[in-house]
Amino acid sequence: MVHHRTGFGSLLTCLATALAVLAGGAWATDEPGEQQVHLGVATCASSTCHGRVEAAEDSPVALNEYFIWSKYDSHANAFEVLKDEWSQRIAANMGLENAASAEACLVCHTDYVPARQRGERFHLSDGIGCESCHGGAETWIDSHYGPDTSHADNLRQGMAPTEEPLFQARMCQSCHLGDDERQITHEMMAAGHPRLRFELDTWLANMPPHHVVDADYSRRKNDAGSVERWVASNLAASEEYLSRLADHIGRNSLSPELSLFDCHACHRPMDTGIRRSAGERRLIQAGSLRPNDHALRMLGIIVELRDPDLAQVIRRGNRSLHAAAAQTASDFRSRAMQLRENVALAAELFRGQRLSADDRHSLETTLLQRAADGWFRDYADAEQLFLGLQSLAAQVPTTTSRRYDALFRLLDDEQAFEPGKVAAEAGRLLRESR
Ligand code: HEC
Ligand code: HEC
Ligand code: HEC
Ligand code: HEC
């Protein structure tokens, strides 16, 4: 699967160098696995448990998960990163004494559960351990490996449903985009933190896999595909974005938290002539300070597949949100909450669904059409366009991800990004596929 995304490593590196509080575990507090004690990585890691070097032949799971995590997965190193020079510079720029003891950093770079949920063998210095994602093991450690224990039993005992796309999306993005408890502020980014971007399917493909999807896996778990993950990713990011916007506005602070807005709305050269296409005028008012709404706009396209009217409502809601940004805070807030309800309706439309080959083909065509119309205007938009097309290519039988190489190259230089070229390339791809 990773080979579909070969180009992506360089995108990660190139972007990292460009622009460059807590209640529960790594996700929203009402999720499963959120109240239990976290026993610590050492509890999972023994050689008779998940600490084998070679994958086991005699067990449904590979049992070398700890080995893969500790040797290849950067989550294992997430705490150590806070001690390096880069982190120390960020900390110094922010006036923090030490990144490795600053809550502002620990919330995302460790399994930062409250002290009462830290077991005897739990160490923050283990970084993002098994229980950051799978939930505190207190209630299921003893039962989860029994020969008669099903996955459903484990879920009932409080293990997190890490195979379920919407759960995955919310869980991973709680750190990879932030949530109300973990925030990557504009100050952190201006101090040197990489700009956070996320798309579930690609990030999952880039995480060294410690599970094997085979017939046995599919029997035990309902494994979703790339497209379902891509849809879930945009649903979850839209939800989170609207909640955070509404919450932020509710605080009535004088200066807005700039990380909630589109970075490239401010950070770009001014002298590029008339950038706006006719289609775009219908989407966003000229010169408005644009919230960072790329997931929501992607959702407005995705939902067309199942409910064109709802897609229209979402798009209009988003546009009216932009217009409201110049009006009263309470107006803005209520529009954001209204839009969130429509996102919830969209989530219902896609809940537990597998998308057919026709669905995927239709999504791909719509996406290219909108892109050719100039709907993907900023760098962060074009990035999500590329990631979406990649996820679709992983599952559309007639498409290979190579097809998007030219589009990918347009993302090489964030500073010299030209939206017109993205529209032209999308138009070319569209004609080619007809
Ligand atoms: C909202 C969660 C969040 C917060 C808060 C956060 N980080 Fe990060 N940080 C991340 C994620 C996610 C990445 C990986 C980004 C990627 O590659 O997509 C990262 C990457 C980094 C990197 C680059 C590591 C590398 O090797 O590429 C450094 C350095 C870093 N963070 C330091 C800090 C410091 C210092 C703080 C506190 C001031 C902090 N982070 C706060 C989530 C966060
Ligand atoms: C960053 C999040 C994350 C971390 C950290 C993590 N996992 Fe996972 N794990 C996942 C995801 C995602 C899957 C794939 C979906 C699934 O089957 O639940 C998975 C799958 C698994 C599976 C299921 C394999 C199967 O065939 O059913 C096991 C077992 C597992 N992880 C154990 C571990 C252990 C042990 C650790 C710590 C050494 C760990 N995980 C750390 C996210 C994580
Ligand atoms: C508790 C917070 C947290 C959670 C939950 C989390 N991550 Fe991460 N992730 C990070 C941080 C912090 C880093 C950067 C670590 C470093 O560079 O040392 C990172 C790094 C990564 C990287 C490497 C990025 C790069 O630039 O090389 C990938 C891929 C990734 N995460 C995918 C995922 C996926 C997929 C999930 C959900 C299954 C997930 N993460 C869940 C915090 C988290
Ligand atoms: C509303 C406008 C606005 C938005 C939106 C915005 N910024 Fe900024 N940014 C600024 C201003 C103003 C400065 C300070 C410029 C200076 O110091 O010269 C700044 C500074 C920075 C710097 C430090 C630049 C330097 O030379 O020191 C970085 C990095 C940065 N922003 C990244 C981001 C990222 C990433 C985003 C999106 C998540 C973002 N900004 C969103 C206005 C914005």
Mean pLDDT of the chain: 85
pLDDT at 281: 53
Provide the CB-side half-sphere exposure for 304 (13 A, CA).
Answer: 17
54 or 90, greater pLDDT: 90
Locate the ligand 1 atom nearest the alpha carbon of residue 174 and give its number: 1
Ligand 4 cavity residues, CB under 6 Å: 19-20, 186, 189-190, 195, 258-259, 261, 263, 265-267, 289
434 or 38, greater pLDDT: 38
How confident is the model over 189-224, as pLDDT tens digits?
Answer: 999 999 999 999 999 999 999 998 888 898 888 888
Considering every ligand atom shown, identify the ligand nearest to the alpha carbon of residue 99 and give its number: 1
How confident is the model over 253-302, as pLDDT tens digits?
Answer: 767 788 888 888 788 766 555 555 555 555 566 666 778 889 999 999 99
* Confidence grade of residue 3 (pLDDT, cut at 50, 70, 90): very low
Closest CA to 169 of 341, 295, 315: 295
59 CB contacts (<8 Å, ≥6 apart)? none
The percentage of the chain sitting over the pLDDT mark of 70, rounded to a whole number, equals 85
pLDDT at 397: 65
Q: In the structure encoding, which two tokens stand for residue 388, read together? A: 């979406």
What's the rounded Cα separation, in Å, for the pair 163 and 155?
11
Closest CA to 237 of 289, 291, 296: 296
pLDDT at 270: 63
Exposure letters 302-340 (e unless 16+ CB within 10 A, then b): bbbbeeeebbebbbebbbbbbebbeeebebbbebbeebb
Check if 204 has its Cβ closer than 6 Å to any atom of ligand 3: yes
Task: Report how far apart, in Å, the C-alpha atoms of 216 and of each of 2, 23, 58, 221 are.
Answer: 21, 36, 12, 9
Check if 145 has its Cβ closer than 6 Å to any atom of ligand 2: no
The answer, yes or no, to whether residue 313 has pLDDT greater than 90, is yes
Check if 127 has its Cβ closer than 6 Å to any atom of ligand 1: no
State whether 212 and 261 are in the same domain: no
Q: Which long-range contacts (CB under 8 A, 24 or more apart) does 371-375 make?
A: 371/422, 371/423, 371/426, 372/423, 372/424, 372/426, 372/427, 372/430, 373/277, 373/279, 373/423, 374/277, 374/278, 374/279, 374/280, 374/419, 374/420, 374/423, 375/279, 375/280, 375/283, 375/297, 375/301
Q: Which residue, judged by its Cα, is nearest atom 17 of ligand 2?
A: 163
What's the rounded Cα separation, in Å, for the pair 393 and 364?
9
Number of domains composing the chain: 2
State whether 385 and 250 are in the same domain: yes
Q: Which of 205, 220, 235 is where one domain is finished?
A: 220
Considering every ligand atom shown, identify the ligand nearest to the alpha carbon of residue 18 and give its number: 4
pLDDT at 128: 98
Domain that holds residue 359: 226-433
117 alpha carbon to ligand 2 midpoint, in Å? 20
State whether 179 and 249 are in the same domain: no
pLDDT at 154: 93
State whether 133 and 233 are in the same domain: no
State whether 125 and 269 are in the same domain: no
Identify whether the C-beta of residue 239 lies closer than 8 Å to the C-beta of residue 340: yes
Considering every ligand atom shown, identify the ligand nearest to the alpha carbon of residue 266 and give its number: 4
353 or 312, greater pLDDT: 312
Beta-bridge partners for 291: 261
State whether 214 and 230 are in the same domain: no
Q: Which residue, judged by its Cα, is nearest atom 27 of ligand 1?
A: 16
* Confidence grade of residue 18 (pLDDT, cut at 50, 70, 90): very low
pLDDT at 279: 53
- 320 conformational bin, left if phi > 0, alpha if psi -120 to 50, beta if neither: alpha
146 or 239, greater pLDDT: 239
State whether 262 and 323 are in the same domain: yes
State whether 185 and 264 are in the same domain: no
State whether 80 and 183 are in the same domain: yes
pLDDT at 159: 94
Residue to substitute in 133, 162, 175 for testing ligand 3 pocket (most ligand atoms within 8 angstroms of CB)? 175
State whether 265 and 393 are in the same domain: yes
* Confidence grade of residue 364 (pLDDT, cut at 50, 70, 90): very high
131 alpha carbon to ligand 3 midpoint, in Å? 14
109 alpha carbon to ligand 1 midpoint, in Å? 7
Q: Which of 186, 220, 254 is where one domain is finished?
A: 220
State whether 160 and 207 are in the same domain: yes
State whether 147 and 202 are in the same domain: yes
Considering every ligand atom shown, identify the ligand nearest to the alpha carbon of residue 100 and give its number: 1
Q: Which of 220, 238, 268 is where one domain is finished?
A: 220
Q: Which residue, judged by its Cα, is nearest atom 14 of ligand 3?
A: 78
Check if 168 has its Cβ closer than 6 Å to any atom of ligand 3: yes
pLDDT at 124: 97
